[in-house]
Amino acid sequence: MTLDHVAIWTTQLEVLKDYYIKYFNGHANQKYINKEKQFESYFLTFDSGSRLEIMQMPGIPENLNDTIGRQNQGIIHLSFGVETMEMVIEKSHELEAAGFKTLRGPRKTGDGYYEVETLDPDNNRIEVSALFVG
């Protein structure tokens, strides 16, 4: 069994689509529009085959979780794997140069990863990680 996709509500569909395409090599399908419900979405497919659905519709309430300062129950981050620690550092620098805040790292974790935590344009937590040897 595989995890087919994860979905995120947003109020800035095109901005989020462009972010995941530019920084994480996502490939978007054609936008789905349901005019009756005023619903719009994209599926973004990544090199691994995993997918992210980003969705927009009027009336969806704002997320009350504090995604930056305090973690709450529920899905807390998306993690993108890269092959080397150097690639984590490169992605960290690229995102910082583009104005995206680093929350933590790059750092070695106790469970064998080298990672950096950052935020997407909607302040969803994003990790970029690689397994490390040593």
- Note every long-range contact of 103-106, with CB atoms under 8 Å and residues 24 or more positions apart, other chains counting: 103/68
Q: Residue 76 has which token pair?
A: 């807390």
Q: What does each of the 134 residues of the chain score in pLDDT, given as a tens digit?
A: 888 899 999 999 999 999 999 999 999 999 999 999 999 999 999 999 999 999 999 999 988 777 777 777 788 899 999 999 999 999 999 999 999 999 999 999 989 999 999 999 999 999 999 998 76
> Are 87 and 51 in the same domain?
no
Range of the domain at 52: 5-56
Domain assignment of residue 107, yes or no: yes
How many structural domains does the chain have? 2
Domain assignment of residue 70, yes or no: no
* Residue 51: CATH number of its domain: 3.10.180.10
Domain assignment of residue 35, yes or no: yes
